[in-house]
């Protein structure tokens, strides 16, 4: 049985601290206590905690001062600030110092429990990253494929079945999903692994040069052909030929290409000698080929010849559970490459990465992490290191500094109503975005006179 998550409760009010110890401990958490900010800093320096729950106003060292010191010791520890004062400035300051969230006293126990559970999710992801990094050298050492989501496991299971065969494979997926990596994995696990792996991006070759690129040419075959040149088919003899963006192959070439797929023989441009090759073809596309067929831009018989086995790669937004592992993998790779001492991500930064849809998929995530690592000035990457990503559009923004001087209840009311409007009036969705239960939302709406 695994040990319970540990929470450090920091409050100079003995009665309130005792109440939290009893309440939160009853939810199954291991509770440690500190009676002021100075003691909290000392405890964090000496031991490991999954969460710090801390009052903001204490006599010796305030919660905000302790928060800054704790984040300097370990930015990855989620810190939730409690305040009994209706101060927007305090809430904003806490969030700017890196607080995971803030709660107002008297505490809403439903919201407290939800907040703790969400904070623990960050801790779980961090622990999972450590465990999964150990897998990289084993389970995925056959290639650079990183992932353990059910969607990627299905892809890898199919690769394991298909790789030893001679079947032609068509890999489909959005740009940046790793189609060439999967093609390489097919080759590396096939009987052709000792042979060459040759790739050609069909979109990068002009129609006039496509035939020469695939089949080669003889000296003098056309202007500029000063010597004989082997084409990609001959270069890949005994191995695998990977054709990326095969949907961009000109129609005029598709007929010739189909014949070579069927007969495994061809002639060079300007030549008359028939050449035979032993090549396995793996193709990839980021478009829906049946639509191209319907539009008369791709041959149906070629499609079926290529699609003996089809592999559909999921976009990153459909395998979000792989984001922490991918992000940590890229962080370690680029930290070593650039001689940086970056160790990990703050909970807020990782949360932002997980929530993003990543239209550019794994390639976009890789570029974002590389940029952050190169420009990093601390051991842990924070939200500020990913300015181009932007906040989650479904997330509730912290109170704006412009609300200074307003009672906290008015700020809360505005946030709740704005979130409810953004959720189209759906109370369950609004509660999810706010991180509270639907029942708590209902009570607050009644308090603010929105519901009867």
d(CA 170, CA 247): 11
Provide the CA 89 distance to its chain's centre, in angstroms: 33
Is it the case that residue 328 has pLDDT exceeding 80? yes
- The pLDDT confidence band at residue 423, using thresholds 50, 70 and 90, is low
Task: Identify the weakest region by mean pLDDT among 31-35, 63-67, 133-137, 145-149.
Answer: 133-137
What pLDDT was estimated at residue 101? 84
Task: Look at 136 and 356; give whichever has higher pLDDT.
Answer: 356
Question: pTM of the full predicted structure?
Answer: 0.59
CA dihedral 359, 397, 94, 75 (to 10 degrees): -10
**Average pLDDT of the residues in 362-388:** 92
What pLDDT was estimated at residue 136? 41
- The per-residue pLDDT for range 72-118, each reduced to its tens digit, is 888 778 899 988 765 667 777 787 778 888 888 888 898 899 889 88
Task: Look at 56 and 432; give whichever has higher pLDDT.
Answer: 56
The pairing of beta strand 229-230 with beta strand 216-217: antiparallel
- The pLDDT confidence band at residue 326, using thresholds 50, 70 and 90, is very high
What pLDDT was estimated at residue 419? 77
SS3 call for 381: strand
Task: Tell me which residue has tokens 């040149």.
Answer: 229
Q: Taking the chain, what is the end-to-end CA distance rounded to the nearest angstrom?
A: 47
- The pLDDT confidence band at residue 301, using thresholds 50, 70 and 90, is very high
* % of the chain surpassing 70 pLDDT: 87
What pLDDT was estimated at residue 393? 45
The pairing of beta strand 197-201 with beta strand 240-244: parallel
Task: Look at 60 and 155; give whichever has higher pLDDT.
Answer: 155
Peptide bond into 236 cis (omega under 30): no
- The pLDDT confidence band at residue 142, using thresholds 50, 70 and 90, is very low
C-beta atoms surrounding 305 within 10 Å: 17
Helices (H) and strands (E) in the chain, counts: 18, 16
- The pLDDT confidence band at residue 417, using thresholds 50, 70 and 90, is confident
Task: Look at 11 and 413; give whichever has higher pLDDT.
Answer: 11
Task: Identify the weakest region by mean pLDDT among 37-51, 273-287, 310-324, 391-405.
Answer: 391-405
What pLDDT was estimated at residue 396? 43
What pLDDT was estimated at residue 141? 38
What pLDDT was estimated at residue 386? 92
* % of the chain surpassing 90 pLDDT: 48
Tell me the average pLDDT of the chain. 85
User: Contact, 221 vs 269, CB < 8 A?
Assistant: yes
What pLDDT was estimated at residue 138? 41
What pLDDT was estimated at residue 38? 92
User: Contact, 405 vs 92, CB < 8 A?
Assistant: no
Q: Which of 19, 80, 85, 108 is nearest to 447 (CA)?
A: 108
d(CA 218, CA 237): 18
Please give the helix or strand (H or E) that residue 66 lies within, else none: helix 63-73
Is it the case that residue 203 has pLDDT exceeding 60? yes
- The per-residue pLDDT for range 204-250, each reduced to its tens digit, is 888 888 999 999 998 888 888 888 889 999 999 999 999 999 999 99
**Average pLDDT of the residues in 253-282:** 91
């Amino acid at each position: 049985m695994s040990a319970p998550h540990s929470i450090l409760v920091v409050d100079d009010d003995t009665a309130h601290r005792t109440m939290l110890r009893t309440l939160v401990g009853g939810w199954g958490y291991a509770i440690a206590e500190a009676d002021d900010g100075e003691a909290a800093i000392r405890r964090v320096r000496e031991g490991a905690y999954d969460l710090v729950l801390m009052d903001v106003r204490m006599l010796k060292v305030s919660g905000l001062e302790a928060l800054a010191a704790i984040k300097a010791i370990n930015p990855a520890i989620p810190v939730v600030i409690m305040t009994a004062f209706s101060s927007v400035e305090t809430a904003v300051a806490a969030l700017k110092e890196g607080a995971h969230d803030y709660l107002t006293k008297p505490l809403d126990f439903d919201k407290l429990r939800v907040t703790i559970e969400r904070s623990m999710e960050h801790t779980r992801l961090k622990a999972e990253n450590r465990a999964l990094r150990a897998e990289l050298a084993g389970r995925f050492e056959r290639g650079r494929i990183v992932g353990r989501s059910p969607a990627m496991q299905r892809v890898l299971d199919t690769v394991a079945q298909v790789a030893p065969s001679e079947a032609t494979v068509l890999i489909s997926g959005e740009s940046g999903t790793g189609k060439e990596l999967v093609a390489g994995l097919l080759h590396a696990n096939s009987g052709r692994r000792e042979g060459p792996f040759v790739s050609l991006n069909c979109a990068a070759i002009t129609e006039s040069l496509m035939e020469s690129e695939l089949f080669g040419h003889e000296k003098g075959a056309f202007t500029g052909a000063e010597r004989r040149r082997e084409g990609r088919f001959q270069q890949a003899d005994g191995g695998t030929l990977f054709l990326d963006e095969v949907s961009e192959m000109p129609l005029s070439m598709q007929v010739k290409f189909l014949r070579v797929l069927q007969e495994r023989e061809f002639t060079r441009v300007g030549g008359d000698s028939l050449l035979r090759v032993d090549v396995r073809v793996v193709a990839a596309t980021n478009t829906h080929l049946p639509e191209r067929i319907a539009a008369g831009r791709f041959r149906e018989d070629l499609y079926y010849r290529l699609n003996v086995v089809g592999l559909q790669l999921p976009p990153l937004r459909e395998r979000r559970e792989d984001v922490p592992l991918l992000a940590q993998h890229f962080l370690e790779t680029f930290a070593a490459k650039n001689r940086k001492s970056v160790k990990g991500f703050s909970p807020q930064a990782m949360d932002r990465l997980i929530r993003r849809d990543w239209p550019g998929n794994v390639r976009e995530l890789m570029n974002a992490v590389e940029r952050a690592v190169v420009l990093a000035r601390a051991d842990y990457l924070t939200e500020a290191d990913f300015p181009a990503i932007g906040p989650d559009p479904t997330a509730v923004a912290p109170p704006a500094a412009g609300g200074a001087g307003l009672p906290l209840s008015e700020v809360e009311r505005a946030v709740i109503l704005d979130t409810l409007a953004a959720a189209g009036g759906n109370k369950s969705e609004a509660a999810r975005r706010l991180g509270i239960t639907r029942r708590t939302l209902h009570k607050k709406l009644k308090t603010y006179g929105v519901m009867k």
